[in-house]
Amino acid sequence: MHGAHGVGYETYSRKHEVRMKVEKKRQEEHMKCQQMVANLEKKIHS
């Protein structure tokens, strides 16, 4: 947790604002990865 997001689990679990920031970053990274996969699949099947 600390290495990937710069916060420890204790801080993450206690502070709602920190948790929301981490989850927003996770969601953005997930969407970015999904888009990369879709682009690669499109290139493979073209």
Sorting pLDDT into bands at 50, 70 and 90, what band is 20? very high
Domain count, the chain: 1
Query: pTM for this structure?
Result: 0.78
Mean pLDDT, residues 14-24 taken together:
96
Q: How many whole angstroms separate alpha carbon 27 and alpha carbon 17?
A: 15
Indicate whether 30 pLDDT > 90: yes
- Identify the domain containing residue 13 by its residue range: 2-44
Indicate whether 25 pLDDT > 90: yes
Check if the beta carbon of residue 1 is closer than 8 Å to that of residue 9.
Answer: yes
